[in-house]
């Protein structure tokens, strides 16, 4: 993997909207069914809003009914990192962009086969590329 992308909060604030900054840099969560990609069905790739790294493919996207874009696997093994998240009195596994450490969402063990995983991702942390 390449060197991590590191910027100050001020630099990120210049590049992101207030809502994007809240989700991506402060580990916030957009309300369910509010994001542009939760019901998005075009073929292509989902990239990190902050750095443009490839994160997920439309081929692994599915409708989980959760109100957030959901995927059963990342685009590749090096696309994301995970860590335990004990915030809000819950035990969850947080998902971040491996390239810039942007908060993406969480992964749960209730997804479809072949992985059985549900990567529940905030639309605000993504951008879409039809390519």
Q: Which residues are catalytic?
A: 120
DSSP state of 14: H
Neighbours of 1 (CB within 10 A): 9
Neighbours of 65 (CB within 10 A): 8
Calpha distance 82→49 (Å, rounded):
18
């Amino acid at each position: 993997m390449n060197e991590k992308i590191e910027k100050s909060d001020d630099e990120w604030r210049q590049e992101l909207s207030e809502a994007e900054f809240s989700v991506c840099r402060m580990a916030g969560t957009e309300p369910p069914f509010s994001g542009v990609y939760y019901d998005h069905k075009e073929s292509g790739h989902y990239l990190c809003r902050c750095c443009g790294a490839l994160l997920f493919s439309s081929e692994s996207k599915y409708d989980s009914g959760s109100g957030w874009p959901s995927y059963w696997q990342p685009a590749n093994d090096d696309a994301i990192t995970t860590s335990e998240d004990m915030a809000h009195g819950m035990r969850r596994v947080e998902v971040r962009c491996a390239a810039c450490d942007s908060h993406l969402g969480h992964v749960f063990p209730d997804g479809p086969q072949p992985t059985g995983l549900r990567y529940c991702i905030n639309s605000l942390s993504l951008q879409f590329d039809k390519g």
